[in-house]
Structure 1
Amino acid sequence: MQISRLLLALTFALSLGQSAHADEPAQATFAAAEASMLSEYGSAAEQLVDQALEYLGVRYRFGGTSPDTGLDCSGLVLNVFRNAIGLDLPRTASEMAKLGDKIGRQELKPGDLVFFNTMRRTFSHVGIYLGDGKFVHAPSRGGKVRIETISDGYWSKRFNGARRLVDGATEASQSPLTALR
């Protein structure tokens, strides 16, 4: 069982006063909690995309983690994941690149993290894939959060890879979060 799913099940089981050893009631409680969470959030990927688009136009600020004062690339991503699905991510792009499932460019789905080498080191820049070949990111000094095309020459040459942290499925039998490895 995935760690995030296990923690969620345990939390709900304990909140209802059930023993952690009572496997069947905990599983039933977990299934109900997961179905409720999915209906509340809809697709986690959709929530991430919607949340990311709310930051369009926010100014870039190196080290920025607040939309009020400005965001850098990882500050944007951590705000989106926290506000959309309640997942706290590490602070830097290189740390984020160690999470989730590694995926290829042709496998990209909305909500995936896309990484680029923009400072002569791998995973020095991160954005959120929106679908249709587009991603949102906080670019650089003097810039604002904006949408780019991943196949544009600059971004295509610097693409380092992608990670999937959420499952876009909305069926109650699937968790919206993949295992964080």
Structure 2
Amino acid sequence: MTVVKSTLSEDARRITGDALQGTLVDLLGLSLIGKQAHWNIVGPRFRSIHLQLDEVVAAARDFADTVAERSAALGLPPDGRPETIASTFTLPSPKEGWVRDSEVVEVMVEALAAAIQRLRERIDATDKPDPVTQDLLIGITAELEKQRWMFDAENWPRDGH
């Protein structure tokens, strides 16, 4: 059943819907990864990383809402149910229990990098079908790249440099 009529062709709608749904899953998953790490981080950099994790969580949640609303506006019901996230989410996540600050930084850099790579693929995929969605994905990518950079800077110095 289609409640909202889309302004896109059926093919463009399918491509765009896949990009938006995948992005929604990644963003909701990132918010969960961030909170899990936030609650369980230990180590000398606890406070700074603890606060930075909240920034990632807030950004991911805000973007998830925007992505879901874009999907709905195109007549594509977004699916953010827990079972959908659990069955389709594949980004790296922290281990169970207490996690050292250095491990949190590593997993956040890896998770953000994986999400960014997929966003870039979706940016390419939506170039022709829906430049409006592409623009949204570009903005999300820019913020996630900033967050990845900030976590990666926590790893300095590396290899004696």
The TM-score with structure 2 as length reference comes to 0.26
- The higher relative CO (CA closer than 8 Å, separation ≥ 6) is in 2
Per residue, is there more strand in 1 or in 2?
A: 1
Per residue, is there more helix in 1 or in 2?
A: 2
